[in-house]
Amino acid sequence: RAKADGRGTFRFYDARLDDELQRRRRLSAELRDALATNALALHFQPLMDAGSGRIVGYEALARWPHPERGWVPPATFIALAEQTGLIEDLGVWVLRAACREAARWPAPLTVAVNLSPAQFRRDGAIAEFVSVALRESGLAPERLELEITESLLMARTEPVLRALRELRGLGVSIAMDDFGTGYSSLAHLWRFPLDRVKLDREFTQSLADDAKVGVIVGSVVSMAHALGMSVTAEGVETEAQRQALAAHGCDVLQGFLLGRPAAPDRLPHQNNQNADKALV
Ligand code: C2E
Ligand code: MG
Ligand code: MG
Ligand code: MG
């Protein structure tokens, strides 16, 4: 009896695995299709100067409005694109669309674009794609920031370092995204050419719970500043968090309190004639 149960259970899991595989194959074919038919979208979330409350730019976030499933979260479809190799084409689409959009904003508003480690796999490719996106949009390179993650810095150190130097050479800036969550190594902060550290949302959220978090935030800020980098805090949802992060010296704030990701025709700087005076 136990045996039969065991086999039954096994078959059950087997079928589930099969279903999951099918589901992923279908989703991945649909993603390929969405990219080919220009059905993906970019939303933009405001980045706010902590001192003045002015909008200084936006982060571009990929969106997939699926005809049956609704909005598929990027955590799902970006990972899928990474596994299937679609990420290179998707990444190029994001870069081009983000630069094209940002070129219509009043200067000096910036745009930040997320890069996946997979986009660094072919030597020389990423700098070429960025250079093309800048050229065809006419966006000034200093208005483009590229967000990388620490996982990129873990392997293939030399080629990645070369790619980051090439990108910097184009005049764009580099931000380390989600800092403090992964294998945060202090060596990353000096070994790689970085202009900005984005403190992960986790710090913002834990700030009120434990005084130790404030010590870490303050220390990362002083270290970053001493190394010539700026600091952005992610996930700002409350006024108390905004004030604490500003008091700790964070330069730029990002979060639902200051503005949710929105379609390009609904960005807050457009509510105001003068982007410099725009407040959310
Ligand atoms: P990320 O780059 O760290 O982007 C910030 C994420 O935090 C976004 O989620 C944003 O909507 C969310 N967020 C912003 N403010 C708040 C807040 O106050 N509270 C909370 N709870 N969340 C907040 P989203 O759009 O779901 O994107 C998730 C991740 O997917 C991004 O994290 C990024 O790693 C990845 N991603 C998104 N678009 C792209 C893309 O075009 N290319 C690549 N490679 N990755 C992307
Ligand atoms: Mg990001
Ligand atoms: Mg982030
Ligand atoms: Mg994050």
Phi and psi at residue 246, in whole multiples of 5°?
-65, -40
pLDDT for the residue numbered 267: 96
Q: Which ligand is nearest to the CA of 62?
A: 1
pLDDT for the residue numbered 13: 62
Question: Angle 125-137/87-102 helices, nearest 10 degrees?
Answer: 30
Counting Cα atoms < 13 Å in the Cβ hemisphere of 67 gives: 6
The SS3 assignment for 134 reads helix
pLDDT for the residue numbered 10: 55
Eight-state DSSP code of residue 106: P
Q: 121 to each of 52, 118, 172, 271, how far by Cα in Å?
A: 40, 5, 20, 41
Say how far apart CA 87 and CA 215 lie, in whole Å. 37
Q: Is the CB of residue 116 below 6 angstroms from any atom belonging to ligand 1?
A: yes
Q: Residues with Cβ < 8 Å from 32, sequence gap 6 or more?
A: 84, 86
Which atom of ligand 1 is the closest one to the Cα of 43? 25
Q: Which of 47, 61, 95 for a ligand 1 pocket mutation test, highest count of atoms within 8 Å of Cβ?
A: 61
pLDDT tens sequence across 18-65: 888 899 999 999 999 999 999 999 999 999 999 999 999 999 999 999
Helices (H) and strands (E) in the chain, counts: 10, 9
Q: Is the CB of residue 62 below 6 angstroms from any atom belonging to ligand 1?
A: yes
Say how far apart CA 89 and CA 57 lie, in whole Å. 25
For atom 25 of ligand 1, the residue with the nearest CA is 61
Residues of the chain with pLDDT under 70: 1-14, 272-280
Ligand 1 centre to CA of 15 (Å) is 33
pLDDT for the residue numbered 12: 61
Ligand 2 centre to CA of 16 (Å) is 33
Q: Is the CB of residue 78 below 6 angstroms from any atom belonging to ligand 1?
A: yes
pTM of the model: 0.92
Ligand 3 centre to CA of 208 (Å) is 20
pLDDT tens sequence across 250-267: 999 999 999 999 999 999
Q: Is the CB of residue 74 below 6 angstroms from any atom belonging to ligand 1?
A: yes
Q: Around Cβ 182, how many Cβ atoms within 10 Å?
A: 14
Q: Which ligand is nearest to the CA of 204?
A: 1
Q: Is the CB of residue 255 below 6 angstroms from any atom belonging to ligand 1?
A: yes
Which atom of ligand 1 is the closest one to the Cα of 75? 30
pLDDT for the residue numbered 277: 46
pLDDT for the residue numbered 101: 98
46 and 101 Cβ atoms separated by less than 8 Å:
no
pLDDT for the residue numbered 273: 45
Q: 135 to each of 96, 100, 139, how far by Cα in Å?
A: 10, 10, 7
